[in-house]
Amino acid sequence: MSHQTHPELAAAFTADTERTHWHDGALWFVRSKRDRAARSIPEWEQLRELAAGIKAHTMSRLADYLEQFEQNATRLGAVVHWARDAAEHNQIVHRILSERGVTRVVKSKSMLTEECHLNPYLQKHGIEVVDTDLGERIVQLRDEAPSHIVLPAIHIKKEEVGELFYQTLGTTAGSADPQYLTEAARHALRKNFLEAEAGITGVNFAIAQTGGIVVCTNEGNADMGTSLVPLHIACLGIEKLLPRASDLGVFLRLLARSATGQPITTYSTHFHGPIPGGELHIVLVDNGRSHVLGQEKFRRSLNCIRCGACMNTCPVYRRSGGHSYRFTVPGPIGSVLAPARDPKEYYSLPYASSLCGSCTDVCPVKIDLHHQLLAWRGELAAAKVLPWPKRMAMRLAGKVLGRPWLYRLAGRAGRFTLRWLPRWMVYHRLNPWGLQRELPPMPRQSFRQFYRQRKS
Amino acid sequence: MSGKHDILSAIRKQTLPSAELPDTGQVGIRYEDPAAQFVAVLPAVGGLARRVADVAELKRELAQLDVRRQAKRIYSARPDIEPGNVDLAALSDPKQLNGLDLAVLCGEFGVAENGAVWVRCDDVIHRAVHVAAEHLVLIVPTNQIVHNMHQAYQRLSFDGPSYRLFISGPSKTADIEQSLVIGAQGPRSLCVFVLG
C-alpha cells in the first residue's frame, strides 16, 4: 500500500475548518511572541550572523571537534558511545540499561530518540519509558507522535487533554482547566520520577572544549530525571557540537527567543561528568548526518537548533498540522531533512510550502530553508520519484514554455476554449489543481497583443 | 570502536570550505543599571525579585514570605540567613528530597537580560535540591549582576566534573493550549533576593 502524501493528510486536517483556524491562531500567537523577543535585542541580526558563522566553522571541522569532545567528556568521567544509525543507537541504549537491570526509565524531551523510535524499541524489550515533558506525556498517553518539536501537543485541545487525563490519570470528568490538569500530571509524573532507575535526555548543545553537554527545559524535567537516579544516558546527533563554552552565549540568547519568545528557558543545565557515584553515558548518533554534510546545497540544514520558529511562521504548517508531514521533524526544516532520509517516502514534503521565505527570515541560524525546499524539488524531479501525473504535467509545461510558438498557440487555444467549454470539462478529477482553485476569467487578448497595441 | 571510526571517516571524506570561528567578544546589550533591569525582568519569567540592603533586611523579608511561613521542611545553603531544618548529609537517597517545601540556595551571579541566575548545584550534597523543592529562594549579590549572556560566559570556566545551571524563574509549562502554568515539575515559585 502506498503511503499518504502531505496533501492527502492535510486535506483530512483542514476538513475541520474551525480546528484549522484554531491551530493556525495558536501558532501565530507563538510567532508573535518570537517577534517581540527578537525586537527587544538590538543586536539580533548580528547574533544570527554569529550563530551561522559558528556553525559553518564547526561543520568544517566536525570530526576534530567530535574527537575533542569525546576526549574531554571521557576525562570528566562520562562514557562516550558512537552510533552509525538509529538501530545501533537503540541497541546501545538498551544494552546500557539491561546490563544494569533497569526496567523503569524517565525521559526528557529528545527529538533524536523520537527519530530513532527508541520508546517502542525499549518497550518491546520490557523497559518502561515515561516521557516527562508535559506535552510529550500527553501525546505518549494518546499513543501519538509529537506534532511540533517544541510544542508537542499543540494540536490537542484542553477538553481532549481533560478527557485523556480522566481516563488515564483519574482526573474529574469534564474538567479542562490547564492549571488543574497540569497539577494532576505533576503528581503522576512525580511518582514516575521517584520510581525510575535511570534518566534519558536529549542534548541541546555539546561543547568540544569542555566535554560538557547542555540541556534546556522549562519544566525542570531533565534536571529531575537525571538527579534522583545514578544513571543518565544523553543522546545527541553529531551536529549538536559547539567549539567553545562562550559560543553558548550566542545560542542560548537565540534559542528560547526564537522558540517561544522567552528570553531564556527556565533551566539551562550544564552537565560536566556524571552525578557523584553514578554514570553518564553520551551516545553520539550519525544516522545520515555525515551524508548530508557532504551535500553542498543541503549542508546548512545541519545548523538547526530545533527551535521550531520555521513551523510557527509557516502558512502551510499552521494550516495542515504537524502530523500531515509524517516525519519526526515537521514544517519547513522537516521538509528539508525528510527527503534526505528517504526521497521516495517523503517526496511530497518539499511541495508543502508556498516558498514565501518566512521560514528563512525567522531562522536563528540562517538556514536558507526556502532555497533548500526549491532545490529539493529539482533533486526529486531529476531522481524521478514524483508521481507520473506531476512528472507528465511538468514535462508538458517544460515543452510549452521552452518553445515561444507553442506557448503562443497554447495561449490562443486556451483563451478561446476555456471561455466556451462547459464547467465540468475544465473542473474534474484529472485536474487536481482546480479542486480548490478557480481560473481567472479568460482575457480576450494576450499580453503580447495588448503591449503591441499600446506601443502603436 | 568501529562505529567511531566509520562516522569520523565518513565526515572526513566530505570536503567542506574552511570557515573562520567568529569572535563573539564584542557583542551584547548593556543596561544603565543591570541590577534594576534584572529585578524588572524576573516577573516576566514568572519569578519575583527583591532588593535588600543587607543580611538583616534579607532575613526579615525572607521570614515574611508566605512560602517560608508555610514551609515545614527547609534546606538552606546559607544557615547564617535561614537556619533550615533538613540535613542533606542525613538523606541516604536523593529521592528523600521529595516533599521538601523550600530550598534556599546561593546564586553566583545574575544576568540582567533574561533574569537567569547561575547556580552551582554540585556544591550541594544532593544536586536535585533546586528542582525537587516545592519553592525556591536564591540569593545573589547586587554587584554580581552582569548585562548579558556573553559576559556571563566570560566569567565561567569548566575544568572538573560539575553540575551547574542558569535558572530563570520557576518551573513552568504552556503545553496545554499555550496557557502558562507555573509549577510544572519543579518549584512552584522562585524568589531572588538581590543583596547589597
Q: Which residues pair with B105 in a beta bridge?
A: B138
CATH number of domain containing B158: 3.40.50.10420
In chain A, the residue whose alpha carbon lies closest to the alpha carbon of B163 is: A271
Q: Is residue B188 part of a domain?
A: yes
Tens digit of each residue's pLDDT (9 = 90 or more) over A47-94: 999 999 999 999 999 999 999 999 999 999 999 999 999 999 999 999
Check if the beta carbon of residue B10 is closer than 8 Å to that of residue A290. yes
Q: Is residue B10 part of a domain?
A: no
Q: How many domains does chain B have?
A: 1
Which residues, 6+ apart, have CB-to-CB distance to B41 below 8 Å?
Answer: A263, B112, B113, B114, B115
CA dist B63 and B113 (Å) reads 29
Q: Is residue B55 part of a domain?
A: yes
In chain A, the residue whose alpha carbon lies closest to the alpha carbon of B17 is: A60
Question: Is residue B1 scored above 60 in pLDDT?
Answer: no
C-alpha cell at A57: 566553522
Q: Which of B2, B6, B14, B98 to mutate to test the interface with A (most CBs of A within 10 A)?
A: B14
Interface check A30 vs B, CB under 8 A: yes
pLDDT the model gives residue A445 = 87
Q: Is residue B161 part of a domain?
A: yes
Q: Does the pTM of the predicted model rise above 0.90?
A: yes
C-alpha cell at A392: 507528465
Q: A369-382 and A331-341 are packed helices; what angle lies between their axes, rounded to 10 degrees?
A: 30
Interface check A88 vs B, CB under 8 A: yes
Of A84, A243, A273, the CB nearest to B6: A84
Cα–Cα nearest to A87, from A326, A288, A302: A288
H/E run at residue B64 = helix B55-64
What's the average model confidence in pLDDT over A227-242?
98
C-alpha cell at A455: 506601443
Cβ-defined contact of B44 to A263 (cutoff 8 Å): yes
Cβ-defined contact of B185 to A290 (cutoff 8 Å): no
**Cα-based torsion angle of the residue sequence A255, A260, A263, A265 in order, rounded to the nearest 10 degrees:** -70
Q: Is residue B17 part of a domain?
A: no
Range 80-139 of B in CB contact (< 8 A) with A: 94-95, 97-98, 111, 113-116, 122, 126-128, 130-132
Cβ-defined contact of A265 to B132 (cutoff 8 Å): no
Q: Which residues pair with B139 in a beta bridge?
A: B106, B193
pLDDT the model gives residue A1 = 39
In chain B, the residue whose alpha carbon lies closest to the alpha carbon of A153 is: B175
What value does the mean pLDDT of chain A take? Answer: 95
Question: Is residue A114 scored above 50 in pLDDT?
Answer: yes
Cβ-defined contact of B21 to A63 (cutoff 8 Å): no
Interface check B36 vs A, CB under 8 A: no
pLDDT the model gives residue A109 = 85
pLDDT the model gives residue A421 = 87
Tens digit of each residue's pLDDT (9 = 90 or more) over A311-358: 999 999 999 999 999 999 999 999 999 999 999 999 999 999 999 999
CA dist A20 and A157 (Å) reads 12
- Asked if the ipTM is above 0.85, the reply is yes
- Report strand pairing: A241-242 vs A205-207: parallel
Q: Is residue B14 part of a domain?
A: no
pLDDT over 90 for what percent of chain A? 86
Place of cell 570536503: B15
Question: Is residue B99 scored above 70 in pLDDT?
Answer: yes
Check if the beta carbon of residue A104 is closer than 8 Å to that of residue A317. no
Domain of residue B121, residue span: 30-195
Interface check A25 vs B, CB under 8 A: no
- What is the DSSP code (8-state) at residue A438? -
H/E run at residue A113 = helix A111-115
Tens digit of each residue's pLDDT (9 = 90 or more) over B122-134: 999 999 999 999 9
How are strands ordered across the β-sheet holding A241-242? A241-242, A205-207, A212-217, A267-272, B162-167, B116-120, B109-111, B145-146
DSSP letters of B82-129? ---S--GGG-SSGGGGTT--EEEEE-SEEETTTTEEEEEGGGSSSTTH
Q: Is residue B40 part of a domain?
A: yes
Question: Is residue A267 scored above 70 in pLDDT?
Answer: yes
pLDDT over 90 for what percent of chain B? 97
Question: Is residue A440 scored above 90 in pLDDT?
Answer: no
Cα–Cα nearest to A446, from A415, A418, A423: A415
Q: Is residue B1 part of a domain?
A: no
CA dist B43 and A230 (Å) reads 35
C-alpha cell at A141: 498517553
CA dist A257 and A253 (Å) reads 7
